[in-house]
Amino acid sequence: MAEIVLGVGASHSTLMNTHWEETTHKAEAERFREALVTARERIAAARPDVVILLGSNHFRGFWLDLVPPFTLGVGECIASGESGTPKGPQRVDAHLAGHLAAQVVESGRFDLAFSARLQIDHGQSHAIQYLLADLDVPIVPLVVNVFAPPLPTFGRCEALAHALRAALDSYPEDKRVVVIASGGLSHRLPWPDWRDPHGEDDDFMVQAWLDGRENWSDYDVRRREIIRAAEAAISPEFDDRILDLFETGKAAELAEFSTDEVDTEAGNGAQELRTWLMMAAMVNYVPAERLAYEPMPEWLTGMGVVVLDPTTRPLAP
C-alpha cells in the first residue's frame, strides 16, 4: 500500500524569481521564503519515495485546442522553464502514475485524462524549485484546469482526491507519499474569460492561448508586460478564513465553494485552491500547521504555506 506521510500547500509566484530585488516588502518576502525552506525540511524528514504534485497550468502546457479538467502525467514530464523555474525533463514514478490512472478509470468514478508526455509550467515547477530542491524524489504530476472555464467544481475536485486516495490504498508496493498542492491564495491575473474577451489585451491573450502550443515564448514578452501592469487584488480576510479552515481541520468546507464565489471574493487566481482542497482530502483533512501568510502586492498574490501531518491527532469536535 502507498501511504501518505505528509501534505503541503504553498503559493507560487514567478515574480519571486524575476523581481526579488524590486520587492519592497522584503521582510514579508523573506518570511515566506523561509517558510518554503521549513516545508522542504519537513518533506525531507518524511522520507518520501514519491511526491504527488497537484498544480495548475498557465497556458504553457495546455492550450485552448484541448483543456481537460484533470490530466495525470504517466510518462515523460517536461518543465517549460519560464521565469527562472526548472526547465526540462522531470523524473516521474511512471509505475505508480499508471496504477493511479488505471484504478481511477476502472472504478467508474472518473474518466481521467492522462499524458505520456506532459508539459508543466510554474504551476508545478515552482514547487519543484523550492519544495523539492536537492531532494532526489520522483513526482506524479496532476494538472487541474483552473483558468479556462468552465472549470471543474470544487466538489468534483474533492471527489477525484478521494478516488486517488483509494487508488493509493490499492497499490501493491509499500511507498511513502507526500502530496503537494501548488497555487493560491487570493490574486487576480489580468486574464479574460476566453469566451468573452474585451479589448486589445484580452484579444491578445486569447490568441496566445489558441496558438501558443509550438511557440509560447513568442507571446511571452507582451504577456509578461500585461501581468506586470496589473494592480494587486489581494484579500487577506478571505485568505485568513481559508487558512483557518485548514488549521481547524475543516478544509472540507471548500468543497461547497463555487467558482463565482471564489472569483468575486478572491480573484481568478484563487481558483487554484482546488489543489489545496484535493491535497487536504487525500490527507483526510487533518488539521494543518500554518507556516506563513504574507500578502505580497509586488507578487500580486496572498502567499501562504501550510503543512498537514497525518500523524497528528484530529481536533475534538
Is 203 part of any domain? no
Confirm whether 211 is domain-assigned: no
Residue 208 lies in a domain: no
The top-scoring range by mean pLDDT among 14-23, 57-66, 154-163, 190-199 is 154-163
- Work out the pLDDT band at 218, boundaries 50, 70, 90: confident
Residue 143: which domain range? 2-189+230-308
Q: What is the SS3 assignment for 30?
A: helix
The answer to the question of residue 247 being in a domain is: yes
The answer to whether residue 196 is domain-embedded is no
| Dist. CA 140–CA 18, nearest whole Å | 27
* pLDDT of res. 109: 86
Q: Report the pLDDT value the prediction gives residue 197, as an integer from 0 to 100.
A: 92
Cβ burial of 185 (10 Å; 0-12, 13-18, 19+) is buried
Mean pLDDT of 127-149: 97
Considering the entire predicted model, what is its pTM?
0.95
**Above 90 in pLDDT, residue 4?**
yes
CATH number at residue 74: 3.40.830.10
* pLDDT over 50 at 303, yes or no: yes
Query: Contact at 8 Å (CB) between 14 and 303?
Result: no
Band the pLDDT of 266: cuts 50, 70, 90.
very high
Residue 317 scores a pLDDT above 50: no
Instruction: Write down the pLDDT at residue 209.
Output: 92
- Label residue 215 by pLDDT band (50, 70, 90): confident
Listed range (58-62, 103-107, 211-215, 266-270) with the worst mean pLDDT: 211-215
Any domain includes 221 = no
| Three-state DSSP state, 57 | coil
pLDDT confidence band for 112 (50 / 70 / 90): very high
Report d(CA 31, CA 28) in Å as an integer: 5
- Count the domains in the chain: 1
Q: For the beta carbon of residue 217, count every other beta carbon within 10 angstroms.
A: 12
Does any domain span residue 257?
yes
Residue 13 lies in a domain: yes
Average pLDDT of the residues in 37-52: 98
Q: In this structure, what C-alpha cell is assigned to residue 258?
A: 463555487
314 pLDDT band, cuts 50/70/90, is low
Q: How far is CA 258 from CA 162, 232, 254, 268, in A?
A: 19, 22, 9, 12
Residue 132: the pLDDT is: 98
